[in-house]
Amino acid sequence: MKENISLSVQTQCYHCGDDLPAAPYVSDDKQFCCLGCKGVYQILSRHNLSSYYAYNEVPGASQKKAAQHFDYLDDAGIAAELADYTDDSTTVITLFIPAIHCSSCIWLLENLYKINPSIVQSRTDFLKKQVSLTFRNQQISLRKAVELLTAVGYEPLISLQDVVKKQQSDHSERNLLTKIAVAGFCFGNVMLFSFPEYFGLSRFENTFQSFFGWINLAFAIPVLLYSARDYFISAWTNLKNGILNLDFPLALGIAVMFIRSAAEIITHSGVGFIDTLCSLVFFLLIGKWMQQRTYHYLSFERDYRSYFPVAVTLIKDGKEQPLPLNELKTGDRILIRSNEIIPADAILLKGEAKLDFSFVTGEALAVEKVLGEVIYAGGRQLNGAIELEVVKPVSQSYLTKLWNNETFGARKDNIKTFSNTASKYFSMVLLAIAIGAGLFWVSTDLNKAVASFTAVLIIACPCALALSSPFTLAAVLSIFDKNKFYLKNTAIIEELARINTIVFDKTGTITNPESKGFEFTGQLNQEEKQWLSDLARNSGHPLSRELVKWLNLSPSYPVDQYREKVGRGISGRVNGHQIQLGSATFLGLTQQDKGSVVHILIDGNYHGFFLSTQRWRTGFRQLAQKLGQQADLHLLSGDQDHDRSLLAPFFQRADQLHFKQSPQNKLDYILKLQNSGAKVMMLGDGLNDAGALKQSNLGIAVTDNINNFSPGCDAILDGAAFEKIPQFIRLAKGAVRVIHMSFVISLTYNAAGLFFAVQGLLSPLMAAILMPLSTITIILFTTLAARFYAVKNKLL
């Protein structure tokens, strides 16, 4: 009796948490929404891995999606290109698995060897959503290994870009960390040998003073020649191009410190500024490392290849066989199954083609094609299997040309940061003061003239200025990260603060792809709504699932004689009544459907229809009002203009809404705005936005899964954080104010030091105090101020 009660109240799938159908699938008193979820549970239970469900509630992903075909992985060429390492007995491969989301996922994926002993090892990278598999290739093939992952609910996403991927080297980051380590080691030891000088102890023993001086000079050499070499290279390169960047005064200050210190130590006239030199380089490199921090698990430079499959199914002599995509040629006949991508421009030969081109064109409505019609690459088939004849190879397809459009590669102006702008004037003023101080003393005391000239260059070295930007922007970057806004680099923050014009794409950007509403026209009583809900629960089609959510009724009746025509409609007997839901064509009606329409027949009688309407993302109305007060808002959509009247209230003028825009139209519009002096931020989500995103001053790809394909961009915004855009802009402006304030603080310290420097009175001890003190002050101020603005904007 207790077991029956438990079953009756359970409304969610034990594996994935989705709503249960009227007749759920049952195993071991657990109820499941589909055979896929039940199968995963049975596999885990059979191999004593049921602890998977103990760590998190409903940890699995839904298994209702169409089955993948991995027969192309039997191709030795494809397998070899995908593998990280392979020999006669062992293969190592790294796979991207979007379903990884919790500790249960990690636990299961790292226990795959219990299911198949041929899996030697599996290691999970949670942040990158990757699993590294090591397996015995004589006992299990790559295809079988991938099918094992799919069987337990963790289907890898394998795209063409995985085959042609460039191995991203992290040598530059390692090199920088090594330089920091060297500078830190030398800095610590120099400070240790400088303590006697700080406390005046070395005066009692000149031998020790000389000995410690030579040791410090030895420690300074690797810092100068290795850790600081990039500053000299950058300063010289920019000087040759007539540019004074921040690296010039830094390199000049470092060089002067070393030369003067070496001269004083060699001539026994002083101890030099080695401690100041090492501390300066150490802190500068830390700032540089923080400035270069980014999200290595995200790709801001994706192209069409990560959208394409690795292989297609070729039909030759009536037989199906996998073919690597790069071998596909004109005249080949290919099979495209439901939910697969059209990889090349082709003619429809067989089947019913209903295609989703929203990612390529921005059009939300599915497009139907007739036999003999050309289908362009990039569309996703929604309506069963079709056969096509390729008319252009992949490299010449519409989608590839769209991506490789030379106009899309147009170079936009480099981002101008405050540090680089200020450093130009800072360098000129610094040199003027140093030369002036030297000239003032040269006629009376040559030694004092040299001392004052070098002291100015040492004490006014813009260490604090060089650190204010990276520490401020790195703090803001981490705050953005916590709020699901991922920037390509820290310079993007300053560009965000300058934005005065914002351009939105529509489909997938301001509309929520996961949230659809319905408008009902007709007559239905509560009992009839229950019948519809129970029938729709049996379908995995997005419209059916959304209709069940919208009706919001608990399961009541089982469904008999259930039939589904993929992409067209469903039917069945519910409580003794014949129910049919679907398109006008499926139900034999004469009217033409406009948009996503679900018609209803009950016992052969027409009861009306549901019209699916896209809803805007959460908070879009308030977001548009807030942004409209500080920026000019525009809409560029590849969709039809059926939503014009709904969107008009969100924009200041009717001429700011543009529909039926091609990718080239969007790019031209951005250029037009920029030519009028606007600083443009573009928000888009599809390949049709690629050119506009690249050309805009700041291109943001909006996605509901940051690991899904997104076009090349400057930032990636998780759809869940869409309504926070005004707060992000305000925080960026606050960050710029913090940088300005820290610049003033830096100048205050420099002014204090210059007072002694121009008189030739700057001592090593004073420099050793002033420079670290200014550095620590800047680091504390920028970190605390950045957090203050984050709290003020409710981002912490």
CB 345 within 8 A of CB 398: yes
CB 161 within 8 A of CB 303: yes
CB 100 within 8 A of CB 126: yes
Residue 294's Cα: distance from chain center in Å? 10
Least confident of 204-208, 294-298, 345-349, 605-609: 294-298
pLDDT number for residue 163? 46
Alpha carbons 768 and 404: distance in angstroms, whole number: 55
How deeply is 204 buried, as exposed, middle or buried, from its count of CB atoms within 10 A (0-12, 13-18, 19+)?
Answer: exposed
Residue 411 has pLDDT above 60, yes or no: no
Residue 634 has pLDDT above 90, yes or no: yes
Alpha carbons 513 and 662: distance in angstroms, whole number: 21
Alpha carbons 616 and 739: distance in angstroms, whole number: 36
pLDDT number for residue 563? 84
What is the maximum alpha-carbon separation in the chain?
113
Give mean pLDDT, residues 474-482. Answer: 87
User: Residue ranges of the alpha helices (H) in 76-228?
Assistant: 76-82, 103-109, 142-151, 160-163, 171-198, 206-222
pLDDT number for residue 552? 80
How high does pLDDT run on average in the chain? 80
Residue 1 has pLDDT above 60, yes or no: no
Alpha carbons 242 and 274: distance in angstroms, whole number: 31
Alpha carbons 513 and 530: distance in angstroms, whole number: 26
What is the identity of the amino acid at 394?
A: V
Give mean pLDDT, residues 72-79. Answer: 80
Give mean pLDDT, residues 490-515. Answer: 84
pLDDT number for residue 7? 38
Q: What is the pLDDT of residues 384-393, one digit of tens each?
A: 789 999 988 7
* Buried b or exposed e, range 642-657, using 16+ CB within 10 angstroms: ebeeebeebbeeeebb
How deeply is 205 buried, as exposed, middle or buried, from its count of CB atoms within 10 A (0-12, 13-18, 19+)?
Answer: exposed
Q: pLDDT-derived band of residue 325, with 50, 70 and 90 as boundaries?
A: confident
User: Regarding predicted confidence, which is higher, 243 or 760?
Assistant: 243
Residue 762 has pLDDT above 70, yes or no: no
Alpha carbons 724 and 705: distance in angstroms, whole number: 17
Q: What is the pLDDT of residues 145-176, one digit of tens each?
A: 998 888 888 888 776 555 444 344 445 667 88
Closest CA to 753 of 94, 253, 43: 253
Q: pLDDT-derived band of residue 86, with 50, 70 and 90 as boundaries?
A: confident
User: Regarding predicted confidence, which is higher, 605 or 125?
Assistant: 605
Alpha carbons 569 and 171: distance in angstroms, whole number: 55
pLDDT number for residue 647? 83
Spell out the residues 6+ positions from residue 484 whose beta carbon is closer than 8 angstroms to its own.
706, 717, 718, 720, 721
Most confident of 413-417, 442-446, 456-460: 442-446
By DSSP bridging, strand 698-703 and strand 680-684 are: parallel
User: Regarding predicted confidence, which is higher, 288 or 725?
Assistant: 725
Q: pLDDT-derived band of residue 322, with 50, 70 and 90 as boundaries?
A: confident
Residue 298 has pLDDT above 70, yes or no: no
Give mean pLDDT, residues 666-681. Answer: 91
The SS3 call for residue 84 is coil
Residue 202 has pLDDT above 80, yes or no: no
Give mean pLDDT, residues 483-501. Answer: 88
Q: pLDDT-derived band of residue 205, with 50, 70 and 90 as boundaries?
A: low
Least confident of 81-85, 267-271, 289-293, 412-416: 412-416
CA R_g for the chain: 33
User: Regarding predicted confidence, which is higher, 423 or 257?
Assistant: 257
Strand order across the 353-356 sheet: 367-369, 353-356, 380-381
Residue 688 has pLDDT above 60, yes or no: yes
pLDDT number for residue 407? 44
Q: What is the pLDDT of residues 394-410, one digit of tens each?
A: 766 666 665 555 444 44
In 296-344, where do the E strands start and end? Answer: 311-316, 319-324, 333-336
Q: What string of H, E and C letters represents the secondary structure of 518-563?
A: EEEEECCCHHHHHHHHHHHCCCCCHHHHHHHHHHCCCCCCCEEEEE
Percent with pLDDT over 90 in the chain: 15
pLDDT number for residue 168? 43
pLDDT number for residue 730? 94
Alpha carbons 576 and 22: distance in angstroms, whole number: 15
Percent with pLDDT over 70 in the chain: 81
pLDDT number for residue 594? 61
Query: What does the angle CA 531 – CA 534 – CA 538 come to, to the nearest 5 degrees?
Result: 140
Q: What is the pLDDT of residues 551-578, one digit of tens each?
A: 888 778 888 888 877 667 889 999 999 9
